[in-house]
Amino acid sequence: MSEKFYRGFRRIGGLMWAAGGGIVVAIVHHFFSSTWPAISKWVAQSPEHYEATIQFIQAGAVAVLYCLVFRYKPFIPKCGPLQDGKIDSEAHAVISKAARSFYGYWHDWWAVLFLFYLALGAKALLSQLKYEPYWNGGLNILMNVSALLVLFCYLELIRPSSSNKPDLTRRSAIGALVLASAINAASMIYVIFNPSNQWPQRLFMIVSGLAVGVALALLVGRFESKYIGTPPRILVFLYVYSVMQATYGLFNTDLLKSEYAAHNFRTAISIIALALKVLLFAWVSWVMTQGRLTVYLENTSSLAKEIPGKWYEVRLRDQS
């Protein structure tokens, strides 16, 4: 009885799979025969539609990466490293906290990136000249929050080896964000009432891009450690991605007078940035899941205690 039941069930299951496959094929055929040409026509209607499409594609790609972040968490062993034959539980607690905090800021950074590209696409599609300062002000806030989260990732990597109080440094960074937000609001209000002079807001946009670039460069610099083992080629690409953040001020303004040049510039930067973002995500995810992040945190913690003694020992050698 049960064998006949399972045989019938398998037949029904096969029919369901066949029906489902037929539905998928029909949907795909309809998409490429009618929907895709309509989308292509809409994209080609104007440069604004094209740029909005590029940014929405970036937002979609970042959304996919953000969902994948949940799958790639840092590997943290159950016990800490051995110190003089004993397990150093205190050091393990600090390292575990740093690794989890790094993952939390890393996770939040991708959410902010998604909002940034979503807003960038909406600006290209909906913005009018009189609303330009408002869009730029909102994008500046997202850029500044992005810089703060990347900086927090960096601070967590130096937590075990730093003699400074990380919480104090973090509070100082938050204070800098509040100050930057006030300057951003002031520059936006100035441009609203003085539309002929866009430079205060443009200058702030350039500074915002540089801030993200510096924060990313600090983070990538930590990946040079032998304990993480980043290949030189990947490091070069990640540093290029850091430098590219400085183009934000050019990307989002009319500093490039030629509309054709500005259009090609934004398209090229968007495509390159998307590829480098995927590389950054892939490498950091691999470093976390393979335990290299934990190895780095454990060993930089012990090196921080040994290095001052080595500095002193070198000076003693010159005296002997």
CATH of the domain at 209: 1.20.1070
Q: How confident is the model at residue 94 (pLDDT cuts 50, 70, 90)?
A: confident
Lowest mean pLDDT across 15-29, 65-79, 255-269:
15-29
Residue 207 and residue 99 in one domain: yes
| pTM as predicted | 0.81
Query: What's at 73, amino acid-wise?
Result: K
How many domains is the chain partitioned into structurally?
Answer: 2
Residue 187 and residue 277 in one domain: yes
pLDDT of residue 243: 93
Residue 6 and residue 80 in one domain: no
Residue 287 and residue 145 in one domain: yes
Q: How confident is the model at residue 145 (pLDDT cuts 50, 70, 90)?
A: very high
Lowest mean pLDDT across 113-117, 134-138, 215-219, 237-241:
134-138
pLDDT, the chain, mean: 79
Tell how many helices (H) and how many strands (E) occur in the chain. Answer: 11, 2
Residue 33 and residue 180 in one domain: no
Query: What's at 269, amino acid-wise?
Result: I
Confirm if 74 and 293 have CB atoms less than 8 A apart: yes
Residue 194 and residue 164 in one domain: yes
Cα-based torsion angle of the residue sequence 100, 101, 102, 106 in order, rounded to the nearest 10 degrees: 100
Structural domain boundaries, residue 16 = 1-45
For the segment 244-258, what is each residue's pLDDT rounded down to a tens digit? 998 887 765 555 566
Residue 6 and residue 85 in one domain: no
Backbone angles phi, psi at 160, to 5 degrees: -65, -25
Query: What's at 125, amino acid-wise?
Result: L
Residue 165 and residue 123 in one domain: yes
Residue 40 and residue 153 in one domain: no
Residue 290 and residue 166 in one domain: yes
Q: How confident is the model at residue 109 (pLDDT cuts 50, 70, 90)?
A: very high
pLDDT of residue 263: 72
Once rounded to an integer, what is the mean pLDDT over residues 7-35?
Answer: 57
Q: Reduced to 3 states, what is the DSSP secondary structure of residue 194?
A: coil
| Stronger pLDDT, 7 or 25, i.e. the higher one | 25
Once rounded to an integer, what is the mean pLDDT over residues 87-94?
Answer: 68
| Stronger pLDDT, 91 or 142, i.e. the higher one | 142
Residue 183 and residue 231 in one domain: yes
For the segment 95-105, what is each residue's pLDDT rounded down to a tens digit? 888 889 999 99
Q: Please say if the pLDDT value at position 5 is more than 50.
A: no
Q: How far apart are CA 92 and CA 160, in angstroms?
A: 10
Residue 138 and residue 284 in one domain: yes
